[in-house]
Amino acid sequence: MTTIQRRAFNDAITRFWSFAAPAYDTGCLQRLVYKPAQDEVVEQLRRHGCKQIADVACGTGILATRIQQELRPDEVYGLDMSDGMLAQARQRCDRVRWMSAPAEQLPFEDGFLDAVVTTSAFHFFDQPAALAEFHRVLTPGGIVAVTTMSPRHSLPVLHALSAGLGAPAHAPTAEAMRKLFVEAGFQVEDQHRVRRPVWTPVSDLITVGVKPA
């Protein structure tokens, strides 16, 4: 995708999520689709004892608020491109710092954070650019935890079709995800399918990387 196509794609995604924001917090949608991935991320942050955490593409702020309330780190930042989603996030919690920013261009100095997390949004990103940005803003030893839709096998037909429409499907396989992490400079520490208490048609993956010290 060229820069102009990427900008148009980001604009379309932003418009869509601002439109969808009011329906997003529906209880069963959250429980079935989004919460299991968020549970995995909270567990990783707790295990690593992270203190300066950014939740990228935070949506309506459910995960960032949980991180703030359950883990009590020094600071939690919630970032998204959609004003509609951020408006709901601001109403949810005033102890998280909400910011409007794309995943590919974060408003932090080099090495400022010790954790970057993102759930159920990575498929929308320019993935190499976002991972390079996560690496830049992390301190050595900091972690990145990404949950993303991920087919169990690569889907070349789907990718070709969506690429033809100007927006290549970005749901990487586990192997492709590890490759993206390594190319961005991370050591892959953990990777597994998101554990779901009941069957859902969602097939997603968590990958955790460390910026080498």
Which residues form the interface with ligand SAM (CB under 6 A)? 10, 13-14, 17, 34, 38, 57-59, 62-63, 80-82, 85, 102-103, 119-121, 124-125
Residue with tokens 């400022």: 112
User: Shortest approach of ligand SAM to residue 59 CB, angstroms?
Assistant: 3
User: Shortest approach of ligand SAM to residue 148 CB, angstroms?
Assistant: 11
Q: Which is nearer to ligand SAM, 30 or 173 (CB)?
A: 30
User: Shortest approach of ligand SAM to residue 15 CB, angstroms?
Assistant: 9
Provide φ and ψ at 116, rounded to 5°: -125, 130
The helix or strand, by DSSP H or E, that contains position 156, with its residue range, turns out to be helix 156-164
User: Shortest approach of ligand SAM to residue 212 CB, angstroms?
Assistant: 26
Q: Which is nearer to ligand SAM, 150 or 175 (CB)?
A: 150
**Closest residue to ligand SAM: CB criterion:** 59
Do residues 58 and 38 lie in contact, with contact meaning Cβ atoms separated by under 8 Å? no
Provide φ and ψ at 42, rounded to 5°: -60, -40
Q: Tell me how many degrees the CA angle 85-90-92 measures, rounded to the nearest 5.
A: 95
Residue with tokens 């939740």: 55
Q: Which is nearer to ligand SAM, 140 or 208 (CB)?
A: 208
- Supply 74's token pair: 């020094």
User: Shortest approach of ligand SAM to residue 2 CB, angstroms?
Assistant: 16
Q: Which is nearer to ligand SAM, 120 or 150 (CB)?
A: 120
* C-alpha to C-alpha distance for 55 and 48, rounded to whole angstroms: 15
